[in-house]
Amino acid sequence: MVSLKLQKRLAASVLGCGKRKVWLDPNEVGDISMANSRANIRRLVKDGYVIRKPVVVHSRARVRLNDAAKRKGRHMGHGKRKGTRDARMPQKVIWMRRMRVLRHMLRKYREQSKIDRHMYHELYLRCKGNVFKNKRVLMEYIHQAKVEKTRDENLDAQYEARRLKNRALRERKAARLEEKRTGVAGEEKPAAEKKE
């Protein structure tokens, strides 16, 4: 049998692929063996005697199936785990994600004027101190703090109103007493003058 090593190499060069991807027509071995230049090989490619083989399929169907099962929690038991818990999902990454979520929420609340800058700063430090484990807990704390704040403000306003009212009462009482005293003193003077 004729060796077609040269033709296969030239065909690979012309087609821009590896030698294993070149197919030479076994029925046209005579014509192919006569081709000793790239131009001749191009002519054979045009005639269909030399073809580039299709790419072998590397299916990911099984991988996709397996990934879908893993998302449901299958194949994730103790026997399938290689790394430590911290290697699989580091505590630091979990912490960073939580901090980013909480700080983003605080920033949003401050921009919407739901909390003032003093409360923002206090809550920021509390977040850093691991007081809130998620957004829901932080939100509940903010609502509770706002309710307490408004209640304290209302109580302060009531105390202030009561104080002003009491002060006004005291002043009126003092004024009445003063009037009485001046009235009594005024009556005593004419009586003393009469005696004289």
Kindly tell me if the per-residue pLDDT of 196 is higher than 90: no
What sign has the CA pseudo-torsion 161, 163, 167, 172? Answer: positive
Residue 37: which residues within 8 A CB-CB, separation 6 or more? 10
Written as one string, the DSSP assignment of 26-77 is: GGGHHHHHH--SHHHHHHHHHHTSEEEPPPPP---HHHHHHHHHHHTTTT-S
Compute CA 161 distance to the chain's CA centroid, rounded to the nearest angstrom: 47
Within a 13 Å sphere around the CA of 40, how many CA atoms are in the beta-carbon half?
11
Residue 44: count other Cβ atoms within 10 Å of its Cβ: 23
What would the mean pLDDT of 87-103 be, rounded to a whole number? 97
- Asked if residues 119 and 105 have their Cβ atoms less than 8 Å apart, the reply is no
**Which residue type occupies 5?**
K
pLDDT for res 179: 87
| pLDDT tens digit sequence for 103-137 | 999 999 999 999 999 999 999 999 999 999 999 99
Helix axes 91-111, 117-128, angle to 10 degrees: 170
pLDDT in the model for residue 47: 95
pLDDT band at 185 (very low <50, low <70, confident <90, very high): confident
Give me the pLDDT at residue 156, please.
92
Express each pLDDT in 50-79 by its tens digit.
Answer: 999 999 999 999 999 999 999 999 999 999
Distance CA 48, CA 58 (A): 26
Percent of the chain scored above 70 by pLDDT?
Answer: 95
Quote the CA–CA distance of 19 and 40 in Å, as a whole number: 17
24 sits in which H/E element: strand 22-24
